[in-house]
Structure 1
Amino acid sequence: MLKKTSSKLFVLSALCIFLLFYSNYSTINLSYGAYAKAPVAPNGPTVKDKVLKVEKVTDGLEKPTSMAFLGPNDILVTEKETGKVMHVIDGQIQDTPAIDVSVATDIERGLLGIALAKQPDGKIYVFLSYTESGNDADGSDFEDNVDPSGNRLYRYEYVDGQLENPTLLLDLTAIPDNGRGEHNGGKIRIGPDNNVYYIVGEVGGHRTQAQNIEDGPEPNGLGGVLRVTQDGDIVKGDVIFGDESPLNLYYAMGIRNSFGMDFDPVTSNLWDTENGPTAGDEINLVYPGFNSGWSLIQGFSKNDFMVTGATPDDLVYFGKGSYSEPKFSWVTPIGVTALEFLNSSKLGTGYQNNMFVGDINNGLLYRFVLNEARNDLSFDNGYAENTGPLADREVNDPKENQPIVFGQGFGGITDLQTGPDGYLYVLSYTGSLFRILPSSGNITNWTSTASIGTTTKGQQQEQLDNNDQINSQNDNSVPAVIVGINGDSSYSPNPISIEKGQTITWYNGDTISHTVTSGQDNDKDAGEVFDSGAIISNQYFSFKFDDSGEYQYYCIYHPSMVGEVKVD
């Protein structure tokens, strides 16, 4: 291990101790916001390109997390909390699952990832990642405080519609340091080298040297991209981090948590998404030896979102390990999830090999164009809107999202895949599966300039003055607008004064999801009086106040957004 030191080491250590405590504490209180997933838009999802359309393939799945194609119109889908791998044929969910495994389900635990590998002899291997229950009962960790057995990667054989002959490839701890079942990652990809790549988070606050804590315990296999052969063996060849276990498993480390990764079909480079805590969602180019910087750096290092004062020189490096800045970052987290390269021209040549990314908070689908060398993102071509604010590779204000937003209204997105038909499939945590395909036989490149969810100050006032539709649907309620992240000016008007028995309808005029949740951040009883859940852009939430009093409220995604209702 190469230990990088600096003159700030003592101060940094003290700050890290503070951060460990604070991050655990704040995660407990902010967690609800992180898991308030976007609903599907009332009229269904849409995309910007008018020559494309969104078609529902099926619904009725239970909290689906990942999918893999056996063939055209033949899909295996994992369900987080049932532990079932459902078989979807021609849009119909089959009655009998391919397998039903026992899973721990608290927060981000569950049946999380799936990948297929067809063998030369005709066999089909199916790889599953899941948090295995400690007593063979689904959800016993949440209901009965039974510790899970572990975060596990299994290989099965697909035989006559069933998954058989399990082989355990990786067995990692699922016991958190902070008492919470979060940051289990779980996505699986088969690499161009035919090896299995599995991404796992730091699992409830583990702080080892793999999380860049210099005097922490040795790495334990968490917080990185792990790589094994399809038989579960160590990949032979150049040593990346080290030749001793578990360093010989790591392809990358320093990763907080991820719900998406994919290989570029042109270069074979691996890219991932990474979730920040209260700031710094990321897209990364993941090379052998990549150190993403967690838990000292999240987002661009210059921003110091983690308030550690750390630079790349303060990270912990093994072997060929090195740090690289994100290729893109959101200052305000969106709950970034799936990542997929569209290895197809079926939606138009302008989209071929583009990167598509989803989020869980807003139900938005993002599109990115790579540069000629395909080692970075480019905003100089392929977009119809002004990309000037994205020149710094950072969304500093949610409205800067506009050029890269390709679609909306999908509900919280958990997976993206290119189907055998060449179309883009979008899996929603709400239980629906969609695909994006041509609206006709004529395909053109993306040229639409339609904006999604943009609201100016003048439009906000217009919405307040012209609420006929909202009023007619909500019994002539008192209108309000969710303006955006701006302290006590985030909701307009603020405060709102009404009479007992009146209803308020909050309309989301921002570009991202927000909530209307009673109480304040860190209140134990927050949300008990009223809680909207995620209100996606251009949608609304109504609540009738039957009792007099003063009601404070806030957004659980963005706790600095605060408002007040005064009921006479």
Structure 2
Amino acid sequence: MNYNIVLLIGFLYSALLCVVMIFSQNFVYATLNLEKLPTVNDSSIGVKEIGKGLPDSISNIDFLDRNNILALGKTSGEIYLISNEILQPNPVLNLNVSGEVERGLLGIAIEKDPFSIDSINQTIYNELGTSVYLYFTEIHDGNLTHNRLYKYDWNGSRLINPHLILNLPLPPGPHHNGGELAMGPDGFLYVTIGDYEHIGDYRHNGILQNIKNGTAPDDTGVILRLNGSDGSQPIDNPFFSNNTGDPLGKYFGYGIRNSFGISFDPITGKLWESENGPESYDEINILNPGFNGGWKIVHGPISRTNSTLANLTQLHGAKYIDPVFSWKIPVGITGIDFMKSSKLGTKYLNNLFVGDFNNGNLYHLMVNKTRTGLNFDDIPGLQDLVADNNLEQSPIVFGTGFGRITDVKTGPDGLLYVVDYGYGKIDDNPPVHRIFKLYPK
């Protein structure tokens, strides 16, 4: 499982292996000060909670414009509107979802013009989203479940006119369903799909999982690149096929275990991805067209494994590249975004913020001058591109106390938003799910 948090589910998976999960609704913290806000290590930046009273854990958010946010209720299938930082009383859409474990309402992308920044990088102008893409585990036709991608229209108060873009062929596993969405600067829609792992049942041992002579491609462990209008394959996809029935034509790359965050570099347009490891090595990757992420043969730097490139299953034109950064001890890495504004300070502009689920840490990472990796010139312990322990990762911890982070995004107002999935029921208190806004004091 991806977030490496102890999960009590009523059976013993292994005497030696702790079962871990991200979306347990029964996770109980003995002590938790719900009134205390997260802290950051920059005294010029404040943190406040917005959208108070969210009734469900939030998997992802996106922005209609600088005043309006859509927030996804992971388990309920409800989509909440936060206007001017206030949660509105009625959901803008109710979906019939299977929300168990990592299934649910998982991904959102709003089709809009690229961010615009003024000459001194101080203002991100208003944006209005007209089309909203949603990825969720839908219950349909009685009791069937599939992960599906729909396109909706926003009419100013509701999401209307659902149009099915993609129906994934396999019934979803309880784990590794993916669902992160992003509109690329090229105008195409990018979709992450995990390897659909079932605890104790590693059924997806296919070519896409780097198993030689494995099962045929089945849309698991991939990132898709699609025409948003109809879900078709762009002709410049790395594995483009004139055969519209060939699944490879939709793939931007493969060899993914499970990702909970993708973001495009605003300077280069390159896609960056956060990826959960198994018992070791969470990753940050730069994904070029035709990438092979290495899973299930390699996770973390290949030099730290017993494998070589010859052990991977390389489709024609595919290429493996090591992560640009790894955590040897997984932290449950999730949301990732480039700060597209200097409103919090010029040193943050076009650099990365990344959240984790296990510790509630928010990390700040500097991109190198060529934007081909990260800059650790002043952090000797990370110059091997691996945080081997908590001491080594401490210089990149920017904030703490953010709960269980599922999303990190720059808003059209130029500020940073962090989503806390919440802690479920705590003693006699109702569940607590929060969204934080970082702002200049």
Q: Does the alignment reach a TM-score above 0.5?
A: yes
In which range does the TM-score fall when normalised by the shorter chain?
0.7 to 0.9
Seen in structure 2, the aligned counterparts of structure 1 residues 228 and 26 have a Cα distance that, compared at 3 Å, is farther
Correspondence 1:28-427 to 2 at 5 A: 30-32=18-20, 42=34, 43-61=36-54, 62-118=56-112, 124-134=130-140, 148-175=144-171, 180-204=173-197, 205=202, 206-243=204-241, 244=243, 245-304=246-305, 309-380=306-377, 387-427=379-419
- 1:78-131 CA distance string (max 9 Å, x none): 0100001111112221122111111111210000011111389x8710000011
Aligned to 2:437: 435
TM-score by length of 2: 0.84
Mean Cα deviation higher: 98-107 or 25-34: 25-34
* Separation in 2, partners of 1:126, 1:119: 13
Report if aligned partners of 1:174, 1:203 keep a CA contact under 8 Å in 2: no
* Separation in 1, partners of 2:270, 2:287: 7
Seen in structure 2, the aligned counterparts of structure 1 residues 38 and 256 have a Cα distance that, compared at 3 Å, is farther
Aligned to 2:117: none
Seen in structure 2, the aligned counterparts of structure 1 residues 415 and 221 have a Cα distance that, compared at 3 Å, is same
Aligned to 1:490: none
* Separation in 1, partners of 2:159, 2:16: 37
* Separation in 2, partners of 1:249, 1:354: 29
Mean Cα deviation higher: 35-44 or 365-374: 35-44
- Per-residue deviation at 1:262? 0.3
- 1:223-270 CA distance string (max 9 Å, x none): 111011111243433351241421011101100000000000011000
- Per-residue deviation at 1:398? 1.7
Seen in structure 2, the aligned counterparts of structure 1 residues 240 and 153 have a Cα distance that, compared at 3 Å, is same
- Per-residue deviation at 1:34? 5.4
Seen in structure 2, the aligned counterparts of structure 1 residues 116 and 88 have a Cα distance that, compared at 3 Å, is same
- Per-residue deviation at 1:55? 1.1
Seen in structure 2, the aligned counterparts of structure 1 residues 169 and 214 have a Cα distance that, compared at 3 Å, is same
SS of match in other structure, 2:18: helix
* Separation in 2, partners of 1:186, 1:58: 23
- Answer 1 or 2: higher relative contact order, Cα 8 Å, separation at least 6: 2
* Separation in 1, partners of 2:232, 2:87: 37
Report if aligned partners of 1:67, 1:415 keep a CA contact under 8 Å in 2: yes
- Per-residue deviation at 1:135? 5.7
- Per-residue deviation at 1:319? 2.3
Point out where structure 1 has 5 or more consecutive residues left out of the alignment: 1-23, 137-145, 382-386, 440-568
- Per-residue deviation at 1:337? 0.2
More helix per residue: 1
Identity %: 39
* Separation in 2, partners of 1:38, 1:284: 32
- Per-residue deviation at 1:191? 0.3
Q: Which amino acid aligns with 1:153?
A: L
- 1:325-365 CA distance string (max 9 Å, x none): 01111111100000000100100111101111001100100
CA RMSD of aligned residues (A): 2.3
Q: Which amino acid aligns with 2:158?
A: Q
* Separation in 2, partners of 1:27, 1:377: 39
* Separation in 1, partners of 2:78, 2:18: 29
Q: Which amino acid aligns with 1:400?
A: E
Report if aligned partners of 1:365, 1:408 keep a CA contact under 8 Å in 2: yes
Q: Which amino acid aligns with 1:76?
A: L
Report if aligned partners of 1:79, 1:111 keep a CA contact under 8 Å in 2: yes
Seen in structure 2, the aligned counterparts of structure 1 residues 130 and 220 have a Cα distance that, compared at 3 Å, is same
* Separation in 1, partners of 2:175, 2:157: 32
Q: Which amino acid aligns with 2:207?
A: Q
Q: Which amino acid aligns with 1:339?
A: I
- Per-residue deviation at 1:71? 1.3
SS of match in other structure, 2:366: strand
- Per-residue deviation at 1:41? 5.6
- 1:17-42 CA distance string (max 9 Å, x none): xxxxxxx9559953346556797765
- 1:507-547 CA distance string (max 9 Å, x none): xxxxxxxxxxxxxxxxxxxxxxxxxxxxxxxxxxxxxxxxx
Report if aligned partners of 1:38, 1:361 keep a CA contact under 8 Å in 2: no
Report if aligned partners of 2:226, 2:234 keep a CA contact under 8 Å in 1: no
* Separation in 2, partners of 1:130, 1:28: 33
Q: Which amino acid aligns with 1:208?
A: G
* Separation in 2, partners of 1:253, 1:38: 36
SS of match in other structure, 1:227: strand
Report if aligned partners of 1:128, 1:154 keep a CA contact under 8 Å in 2: yes
Report if aligned partners of 1:27, 1:277 keep a CA contact under 8 Å in 2: no
SS of match in other structure, 1:210: helix
* Separation in 1, partners of 2:418, 2:278: 25
Report if aligned partners of 2:37, 2:48 keep a CA contact under 8 Å in 1: no
- Per-residue deviation at 1:149? 2.2
- Per-residue deviation at 1:214? 1.2
Q: Which amino acid aligns with 1:156?
A: Y
Report if aligned partners of 1:412, 1:429 keep a CA contact under 8 Å in 2: yes
Point out where structure 2 has 5 or more consecutive residues left out of the alignment: 1-11, 115-127, 423-432
- Per-residue deviation at 1:57? 1.2
Seen in structure 2, the aligned counterparts of structure 1 residues 356 and 255 have a Cα distance that, compared at 3 Å, is same
SS of match in other structure, 1:97: coil
* Separation in 2, partners of 1:347, 1:70: 22
* Separation in 2, partners of 1:276, 1:264: 23
- Per-residue deviation at 1:48? 0.4
Q: Which amino acid aligns with 1:132?
A: E
SS of match in other structure, 2:19: helix
SS of match in other structure, 1:259: strand
Structure number, greater radius of gyration: 1
